[in-house]
A and B are shown apart, each in its own frame.
Chain A
Amino acid sequence: DVKVTQSSRYLVKRTGEKVFLECVQDMDHENMFWYRQDPGLGLRLIYFSYDVKMKEKGDIPEGYSVSREKKERFSLILESASTNQTSMYLCASSPGGPASDYEQYFGPGTRLTVT
């Protein structure tokens, strides 16, 4: 079974703090993704990566950055957390190749609260 793990299930941070969300997958997948999930808005793509050290902006990258130094690990960074970044953050991975043919596998999510 594919396993995608996220470092924390719940996180509370203060406004202005630098926040790191970690994601690890154990299936040697090339593609990794970060989404945020908000009620009434569904899932929105923040950033994705097709390979180590490669990253692409998604639909809502403002206020976020990412890092992928190793194939299995994809980190989401909030440089200076703000209250409007309070959300559920989901990490996903999928195999490489003709990427649109593959489903994405999701982690359990990190519920971040910024106060």
Chain B
Amino acid sequence: AQSVSQHNHHVILSEAASLELGCNYSYGGTVNLFWYVQYPGQHLQLLLKYFSGDPLVKGIKGFEAEFIKSKFSFNLRKPSVQWSDTAEYFCAVTKRTGANNLFFGTGTRLTVIP
């Protein structure tokens, strides 16, 4: 069965620190990859997505993610976090064929200390 692993459950950083959140998936076929973010009290919203092409994807608010096929990974990065990045981050995967089912990781809570 397809699964998505986010190994960091809670990350605490000071402002201006660099961020990297891990995401690994288990499906062997071609996939689409997503990072969603949920700010406190707000809707889940898309941060960035990868379908094909350049494996380094840039998203909103200075986030980027790199797809490494050989490692089944899609890690999220930001060079310098801000207090407003405090949120929960979810990695999600969907197969390129068949149903549009998103498989979500368990989420990583990021707390940025001013």
Chain A residues in 8 Å Cβ range of B17: none
B56 within 8 A of A: no
Of residues 65 to 114 in B, which have CB atoms within 8 Å of A's CB atoms?
90, 92, 94-102, 104-107
Chain A residues in 8 Å Cβ range of B9: 40
Interface string of A25-60 (1 = CB under 8 A from B): 000000101010000111111001000000010100
B44:A42 contact, CB within 8 angstroms:
no
A101 within 8 A of B: yes
Interface string of A52-85 (1 = CB under 8 A from B): 0000101000000000000000000000000000
Complex CA–CA separation, A45 to B49 (angstroms): 20
Chain B residue nearest in CB terms to A103: B46
Number of A-B contacts (CB under 8 A): 56
A100:B45 contact, CB within 8 angstroms:
no
A44:B104 contact, CB within 8 angstroms:
yes
How many residues of chain A get a CB closer than 8 Å to chain B's CBs? 26
B interface, size bucket: 20 to 34
B61 within 8 A of A: no
Known: A42-B90, A108-B43. A100 touches B104 (CB 8 A): no
Pairs A-B, 6 closest by C-beta atoms: A99-B100, A106-B44, A43-B104, A42-B106, A42-B104, A100-B94
Interface residue ranges, B against A (CB under 8 Å): 4, 6, 9, 32, 34, 36, 42-46, 49, 51, 90, 92, 94-102, 104-107
Interface residue ranges, A against B (CB under 8 Å): 4, 31, 33, 35, 40-45, 48, 56, 58, 90, 92, 94, 99-104, 106-109
Q: Identify 24 residue pairs between A and B in the complex whose beta-carbon atoms are under 8 Å apart, listed by A's number.
A: A4-B43, A33-B102, A40-B9, A42-B6, A42-B105, A42-B106, A43-B104, A44-B104, A45-B101, A48-B101, A56-B99, A92-B44, A94-B100, A99-B99, A99-B100, A100-B32, A100-B95, A100-B99, A103-B34, A103-B46, A106-B36, A106-B45, A108-B42, A108-B43
